[in-house]
Amino acid sequence: MPSRSSYKRVMLKLSGEALMGSQNFGLDGVVVAAVAQELKEVVAQGVELAIVIGGGNIIRGVAASARGIDRVAGDHMGMLATVINSLALQDALEKAGVTTRVQTAIEIRQVAEPFIRRRAIRHLEKGRVVIFAAGTGNPYFTTDSAAALRANEIHADVLLKATQVDGIYTDDPNKNRDAEFLPKVTYQQVLEKNLKVMDAAAISLCRDNDIPIIVFDLMTHGNIGRVISGADIGTVVRG
């Protein structure tokens, strides 16, 4: 892995599903440990790293709503799922020797700090990894929106979205063999073409504050470090 980072402060959005590994539900400890090891190598480069993790490996508010659960209740359940994932990643990082803090948008003081922007920035300045859990703390907002919001609040240089695909395509590459890979797109193209990469609120937040987004494949070992080091991987979204 290159030893020099192209970014000083990074917001990493991890897919909850990516932490399942080959399972159909929950967390794969081997995958979580492998991700933690990659993150350790990134932090060793001097990168200030903040993370938001989705909760789709446990429950999604929209899916719960479709099964008859009230949407607000379902979204709160999804927020708690992200707390579970955040604590799991914190545990793996601490075992790897990386000092970590979890901050939650809803107060659960027994297990994590409440989100306080200045404290989060101070943690980053001290070299601690900060994991932002429980989304924005509000229903009807995705963890993509939470990642974009926190990226703006901490003045991140870039928002990295680690997924199970290698970038943005014109269509779902798993369903359409003719889907075209897009190495670079603008925020406006994502919105106008309804490219399913992040929700419109997240894209708009990054566009309005000129924070580039890089979408890449988490499942290829070492990709997190490669992207942060400036390698030509994934899709870049910017103005």
pLDDT at 60: 80
- Percentage of the chain with pLDDT > 70? 98
In the block, tokens 């949407």 appear at 71
Q: Residue 1: what pLDDT?
A: 39
Please report the beta strands in 6-157, taking only residues with DSSP state E, as ranges in sequence order. Answer: 9-14, 48-53, 100-104, 113-114, 129-133
Side chain identity at residue 26, one-letter code: G
Which position has the higher pLDDT, 30 or 172? 30
Report whether pLDDT(44) > 60.
yes
Percent of the chain with pLDDT over 90: 80
* Residue-averaged pLDDT of the chain: 93
Residue 111 contacts by C-beta under 8 Å, 6 or more apart in sequence?
A: 83, 87, 102
Q: Amino acid identity, residue 56?
A: G
Domain borders along the chain are 9-238
More confident residue, 149 or 179: 149
User: What confidence category does residue 4 fall into, taking pLDDT thresholds of 50, 70 and 90?
Assistant: low
Min mean pLDDT across 58-72, 97-111, 118-132, 158-172 is at 58-72
The two tokens of residue 4 are 């020099």
- DSSP secondary structure letter of residue 47: -
Residue 51 and residue 132 in contact, taking contact as beta carbons nearer than 8 Å: yes
Q: Does residue 79 surpass a pLDDT of 60?
A: yes
**One-character DSSP codes across 95-136:** HTT--EEEEESS--TTTSEEP-HHHHHHHHHTT-EEEEESTT
* pLDDT band, residue 189 (cuts 50/70/90): very high
The larger pLDDT score, comparing residue 136 to residue 239, is at 136
Q: What is the mean pLDDT of residues 160-182?
A: 90
Looking at the predicted structure, is the pLDDT value of residue 100 above 80? yes
Q: Which amino acid is at 161?
A: K
Per-residue pLDDT, averaged over 184-205, amounts to 93
Report the relative pairing of strands 213-217 and 235-238 from DSSP bridges.
antiparallel
Residues 98 and 118: their CA atoms lie apart, in Å, by 21
Q: Is the pLDDT of residue 211 over 50?
A: yes
Read off the pLDDT of residues 116-148 as tens digits, 9 standing for 90 and up: 999 999 999 999 999 999 999 999 999 999 999
When pLDDT is averaged across residues 172-176 and rounded to a whole number, the result is 85
Q: Which CATH architecture has domain 9-238?
A: 3-Layer(aba) Sandwich (3.40)
